[in-house]
Structure 1
């Protein structure tokens, strides 16, 4: 839930400002005192957070039932639900903040305006949130600023992580059932990625590609901790997966760091794409996990970015020729010491 703390605070402050602005624009000058401005600010924050709460519900696993319906039905249900919540919260806050009770004049005059503003805010919040979910927060900012209109070279940490045995699972479970498993798998590991500062670049079949910027003087340990957190999360959910799918998902992962060329490409469908040897090496590291018999392999380039840590078990594989690549790569298997001992 930590991933929602920052946007909740930002939206609360935004709601306070909108509430104060509403008082300034629509109310009479005689009512423009500090107490009324504070009431309107609290009203605005409450309504904004109510809209945000509805949005969070409809983007959580609890609302999976509605995502099985046609999009137009989902949109209609979300709109009606938001409108009802806005009315309830608006009237409730009016009764609390103004002890003389809810006036008919307020219901006839102000409530329709408040509903209109709240629904407009709901649309904006949903649009921005969905854009962030589609291309990532940092990438969205860079796209808006035009950073990737021309190829840009950046230092990045890349993680390629895929589900083990998806082809075999598809033969035994069927493609539709495996897709449900993949959807659940990607959903369950997402919080670990976000909490550790990662940003999902793409889902490719049964694989997810995650990226972190490499900043000077900043250790890259969080990418390793992300993989360990994913392991812990899957262990927590093992019984649920076994009960629902008859299998406990496992993964193989490769981590590498180096220069990446990032650019917008395409025309009818624009996409931010990553190019370069770093991408290829990371993909090959992930594929080499099967041959090495290890769930996580990292390159020497990444390992040199890590701070020294006594809790890590590092097993060197030496200079390795990865499939499809002539140059040798230093490869290491990394695990937590307790897990390695077990």
Structure 2
């Protein structure tokens, strides 16, 4: 019952996990720093953990939200004073909380006498911690975990559902808006469509130009038609922002989606820059579904294997068959009806 009253979405869980990772990073840095300068380690660790948690929550729930667009758009060097201000506030709060929790209020006068020194040290390692958080955010927490533990050091066979998404008429749109405005539009657009994917159990495999490739485990995508709910939510999210797009850019984007699923090989790839790669016919067919959506002027095209697996068959209309290079038999394809899944 409490879960129904206070639902925690996958996006929120991911953000909270990232905040805890930040807390762990700062705790380790705080332990090393306080041990090196001869201060009580338990105070330094508690203080650093609280600062790390605060910075993590600030980064995930403010900076990485719509409210933090202005800060993300700022040059990283210019954003440093903002982070320094946040760290200073967190330092003063955590300093008192740490001493109170540990019953070391008698040590506060010493902490105040060493305030310039302590604040400088905590600010410096906070910048290091924030940089490490940005690296984790760039790579992706899940990808970083799999690379560290070697999940896909050897190729692994898995069953996945893949979703390809692209903006319609992006070339013409880019010529109209110019490179800078187009980049701003794409950044906003990708932000809008990412959260519905994460909230419905998917993950972003790759951002590509003006689109993306998303990925689900087969069961997570098919159960309760989660993949269809993700598509609905993406369309609704972008539709709800159409007025904002027009105010900012003079035009609102439409997009197309292609979906297919099946067996894939997942493996580490690259040398100097490692990542997780997906291989097999499934990804080629999924890409072809997105091309079919463009060719048939459909918002969302899915393959027969996905249509047969989903519960709600009433939303599909069969288009016909699509040939895929390298695949001997043509693929039967379906589109989701415009009323339910068409462009807003």
Does residue 319 (structure 1) correspond to residue 285 (structure 2)? The answer is no
* Deviation of the 1:245 alpha carbon: 0.9
Q: Where does 1:51-200 land on structure 2 (aligned, <5 Å)? A: 51-56=55-60, 57-74=62-79, 76-91=80-95, 93=97, 103-108=108-113, 116=121, 120=125, 123-124=128-129, 127-128=132-133, 130-131=135-136, 133-200=137-204
Of Structure 1 and Structure 2, the greater helix share is in 2
Taking a change above 3 Å as real, the CA distance of residues 283 and 211 of structure 1, as seen in their structure-2 partners, is: same
SS, match of residue 148 in structure 1: coil
Deviations 1:40-99 (A, max 9, x none): 99977653432223323333444444445543333x325522431223323563697679
* Deviation of the 1:177 alpha carbon: 2.0
* Deviation of the 1:247 alpha carbon: 1.1
RMSD: 4.0
Taking a change above 3 Å as real, the CA distance of residues 119 and 330 of structure 1, as seen in their structure-2 partners, is: farther
* Deviation of the 1:4 alpha carbon: 3.1
* Deviation of the 1:115 alpha carbon: 7.7
User: Matches of 2:123 and 2:178 in 1, distance apart?
Assistant: 44
SS, match of residue 249 in structure 1: coil
**Number of residues of Structure 1 aligned to a counterpart in Structure 2:** 325
Taking a change above 3 Å as real, the CA distance of residues 250 and 203 of structure 1, as seen in their structure-2 partners, is: same
Deviations 1:88-118 (A, max 9, x none): 3235636976798994224236996688568
SS, match of residue 304 in structure 1: helix
Q: Where does 1:21-40 land on structure 2 (aligned, <5 Å)? A: none
* Deviation of the 1:122 alpha carbon: 6.8
Conservation of the 8 A alpha-carbon contact between 2:22 and 2:55: no
Conservation of the 8 A alpha-carbon contact between 1:51 and 1:118: no
Conservation of the 8 A alpha-carbon contact between 2:166 and 2:255: yes
* Deviation of the 1:123 alpha carbon: 4.1
**Mind listing any 5+ residue stretches in structure 2 that lack a counterpart?**
1-7
TM-score norm. by structure 1 comes to 0.77
Residue of structure 2 equivalent to 1:34 = none
